[in-house]
Amino acid sequence: MTSWQEGKNIHDCNKYMLDNQIFCDVKFKVGKTGMLMGAHKFVLASRSSVFAAMLYGGLPETSDVIVVPDIEPDVFDILLRFLYYEYGEVNNTTVFDTLYASEKYSIKDLTNICRSYMESIITEETVCDVMETAWIFSLTDLYSKCLTFINRTQSCAKRVFESSAFLNCSRDCLVSLVKIDELPLDEQTIYKSLIRWAENRCMIDGKNTTDSSEIRKALGNLVFQIRFPLIFLDTFSKDVDRILSEEEKRIISQLIDGKNIERSPFSHCKRIHKDNIFRVLKHSTKCIWNQLGEIDAISFETNNPFDLDGLVLNGSSKTPYTYSVEAKILSSNNTVLSNFQPKTVTESSKQFQIYFEKPCSIKPNEVCTIWVKMKGPPSFQGEYSNQINHRGYVVRFYNSHLSSNATDVTHGQIPGFICFLKK
């Protein structure tokens, strides 16, 4: 008689025992419905330090049934299957709760799967949910990726602030978002979005959404992240009267007049908005620049510091076109400061933009190199200047020995930078 174990590896055996509930020695009462789910103490303890302490520690669980009301059966099933045979498939519906479960039972590999999945689903509609989850569980890399996504463009940030998911963010998470200098929105847009958030919070809490004092309570310390001195207050003074005291309005008026106020709760520093620096004198009208996977490179230095966030590259007249693109920023000793991992880019405009994994701080008077490898149809080229002056930023360009596709200071690829300017 053939045994069920025959021909199965350890994962197959574990799966079979879980599926068929063979020799289960512990049961869990899971979720709101209290669904019973069986498991094996040895497997759980061997894969999770929390389960090990719970089942075999100094004060082990003695109940025949362990109650887990905070995790629903579909998510607990994902957790068990990962522990038994490393099947960790999640989707938009289950990923957030699965992350909670993996953190609760200290299953780091499953946490990493959830984190990678959440990173892959970041859009203007979902980024707030991902950011809030990353904030709760201190997933700093994922949280930074959310901020980078929001700060890419003004239109993206505006749609995020207008999204329904924005209303679900916690106050602390929004404080960390709104206080950053690189947020590419005007203060009035930020103000209106936060008022909308506060009104929604009042509605959830059963408070009067038209009561100024309740709106102010809901905002809490968020109000001090709005840079009121940068707003023309008389354009919507009636709205501002809802949440600011007379003393606060007096302080803001003094800041607008240029007075220095010690310990002002309001910032009057302008946000560092994104800008493009172009080195183009003239664009070609024909696509004559071959893109066969050779390297286009150019070196540069600047008189003032800025954060380099991405590149403007020449596209093709054959639209829509597709390029395989890789790029990186190199220091003077060829250390990679930031990069754009190899990726397929499909666009239709004469120029297109790519963004590095993270903005890179460019220090004054230090030579750096932009390195780009593209493969696809011939692209437009530009005629360039070896020095430009943009809003007080003087950028000088130099030929790079790394360029094997003939781009240099006078012609070729890499027509522009995408920057956060600090002046």
Kindly give, in sequence order, each residue whose CB lies less than 8 Å from that of residue 405, ignoring residues fewer than 6 positions away.
Answer: 289, 290, 291, 294, 295, 296, 412, 413
78 phi and psi angles, rounded to 5 deg: -60, -45
pLDDT band at 237 (very low <50, low <70, confident <90, very high): low
Kindly give, in sequence order, each residue whose CB lies less than 8 Å from that of residue 294, ignoring residues fewer than 6 positions away.
Answer: 373, 404, 405
Mean pLDDT score of the chain: 90
Note the pLDDT of residue 284.
Answer: 81
What CATH code is assigned to 10-119?
A: 3.30.710.10
Whether the predicted model's global pTM rises above the 0.85 cut: no
Kindly give, in sequence order, each residue whose CB lies less than 8 Å from that of residue 319, ignoring residues fewer than 6 positions away.
Answer: 347, 348
Q: What is the pLDDT of residues 219-235, one digit of tens each?
A: 999 999 998 887 765 55
Q: What pairing do the DSSP bridges indicate for beta strands 65-68 and 26-30? A: parallel
Q: Give residue 133's identity as a one-letter amino acid code.
A: T
Note the pLDDT of residue 411.
Answer: 93
Q: What is the pLDDT of residues 103-139, one digit of tens each?
A: 999 999 999 999 999 999 999 999 999 999 999 999 9
pLDDT(269) > 90: no
pLDDT band at 2 (very low <50, low <70, confident <90, very high): low
Q: What is the pLDDT of residues 47-67, one digit of tens each?
A: 999 999 999 987 777 677 999
Q: What is the pLDDT of residues 366-380, one digit of tens each?
A: 999 999 999 999 999
Residues of the chain with CATH 2.60.120.820: 274-421
What CATH code is assigned to 274-421?
A: 2.60.120.820
- Of 141-150, 266-275, 375-384, minimum mean pLDDT range: 266-275
